Amino acid sequence: MKTKQNYPTFIFDLDGVITKTEAYHFQAWKQTASLFDYELTHENNEQLKGVSRVDSLKKILEWSDSEISTEMFERLLKEKNDRYLKALTELSEKDIIEGVYEFILDARNHQHTIALYSSSKNAEFILSKLKIIDLFDVRVDGNDVTQSKPHPEGFEIAAKLANSPPSKCVVFEDSSAGVIAANQIGMTTVGIGNADDLSMASRICKNFIEIALNDFKA
């Protein structure tokens, strides 16, 4: 009989993989960028996916050729997060992306360990709003790491907590930063979304409708 360790651990990103909250991030960051007379584009926003709040603001300051005090930097981080959380007030289980909930349930029923690694410091809040927090055996977020994607620290922590070697982990990501991070330590990567942005992934799918548990047989 196979043991749980014979099955790959599945590690999920949150924004853009489990739920579509990245649009809220975009609008919140766009308002921040406007303070520096800079218009944040969707193309620029792709570079903020999977990146920490601090590093995202640093990028916006670089793009707008702006410098601010440490005090202002911290204030803008808080204001952006407050706008984002306010936008999530009505978030519920209906906002789970099609196919992913069923995939996770099927995986749990077949003894796969289910993990989350999100750069967001609001991951626990979002999972609770979606009413799926108990489906994850391991949860790692922006509060648990010192270096965000594309550094692999968060994936290393998730694999360790799951008692699984990186080579036995499958990562679902919608950001190039996340795919790059997981690839660095030998994890299998499944890019969810635009093939042009995720060309470095082991496999690319538009959504979980294209993914079946049998694709990952040990």
Q: Could you list the active site residues?
A: 13, 15
State the burial class of residue 100 (Cβ atoms within 10 Å of its Cβ: 0-12, 13-18, 19+).
Answer: buried
In this structure, the answer to whether residues 125 and 51 fall within a common structural domain is: no
- Reading the block at residue 44, the tokens are 């620029």
Q: What is the mean pLDDT of the chain?
A: 92
Q: Which has the closest alpha carbon to 131: 174, 172, 95?
A: 95
Range of the structural domain that residue 43 is part of? 22-87
Q: Mean pLDDT across the stretch 43-66?
A: 91
Give me the phi and psi of 123, to 5 degrees please.
-60, -45
Q: 108 and 10, same structural domain?
A: yes
Q: Same domain, yes or no, for 132 and 205? A: yes
Same domain, 154 and 125: yes
Whose tokens are 């998730």? That residue is: 158
Domain co-membership, 43 together with 133: no
Domain end position, chosen among 52, 87, 122: 87
* Domain stop point among 87, 108, 130: 87
- At residue 3, the pLDDT reads 43
Structural domain ending residue among the three candidates 87, 110, 141: 87
111, 205: one domain: yes
39 band by pLDDT with thresholds 50, 70 and 90: very high
Check whether 47 has a pLDDT greater than 80. Answer: yes
Residues 11 and 97 in one domain: yes
SS3 content of the chain, % helix, strand, coil (to 5): 45, 10, 40
Per-residue pLDDT, averaged over 110-122, amounts to: 94
In this predicted structure, the answer to whether residue 57 has a pLDDT above a threshold of 90 is: yes
15 forms bridges with which residues in the sheet? Answer: 19
What is the per-residue pLDDT across 18-38, written as a single tens digit (0 to 9) for each? Answer: 998 878 889 999 999 999 999
* Same domain? 79 vs 9: no
Looking at the structure, tell me whether residues 119 and 199 fall in a common domain.
yes
How high is the pLDDT of residue 6?
65
The model's confidence at residue 52, banded by pLDDT at 50, 70 and 90, is confident
Q: Are residues 121 and 202 in the same domain?
A: yes
Q: In what order do the strands lie in the sheet with 203-205?
A: 138-140, 114-117, 9-12, 169-173, 188-192, 203-205
CATH number at residue 62: 1.10.150.240
The model's pLDDT over 80-101, given as tens digits with 9 standing for 90+, comes to 999 988 988 889 999 999 999 9
Looking up residue 104, the CATH number of its domain turns out to be: 3.40.50.1000
Please count the structural domains in the chain: 2
Do 98 and 62 share a structural domain?
no
- What lies within 8 Å, CB to CB, of 12 at 6+ separation is 18, 100, 104, 114, 115, 116, 117, 136, 171, 172
Query: Do 61 and 89 form a contact (C-beta atoms < 8 A)?
Result: no
Statement to judge: residues 74 and 104 lie in one domain: no
> How far, in Å, are 18, 114, 162 from residue 132 at the CA level?
10, 12, 18
**Can you give the pLDDT at residue 205?**
95
Question: Which residues lie below 8 Å from residue 208, measured CB to CB, with a gap of 6+?
Answer: 97, 98, 99, 100, 102, 103, 192
Among the residues of 42-99, which ranges form H helices? 42-46, 53-63, 70-87
